[in-house]
Amino acid sequence: MNRAFDLAERIRLVECLWQVALADSHLSRYEDHLIRKISDLLYVPHRDFIAAKLKARETIQAS
């Protein structure tokens, strides 16, 4: 995936993962850990990881 997707696409994937995890308004530590691990494996910078989480949270709250 790192070769097939550019950074923006990998960040968008992480954001989508956050949206799924936050959909039930409860984030378990396992969900958080798994998304963090996936983000690391995709070489998404930490600042983009946090930004994706915040953007997903805003999207969920706006729904």
Domain ranges of the chain: 7-62
Residue 52: C-alpha distances to residues 8, 42, 48 (Å): 11, 14, 6
Global pTM reads 0.92
Question: What pLDDT, on a 0 to 100 scale, did the predictor assign at position 29?
Answer: 97
What is the predicted pLDDT for the residue at 63? 80
Q: Residues of the chain whose pLDDT is less than 70?
A: none
pLDDT computed for residue 2 by the predictor: 85
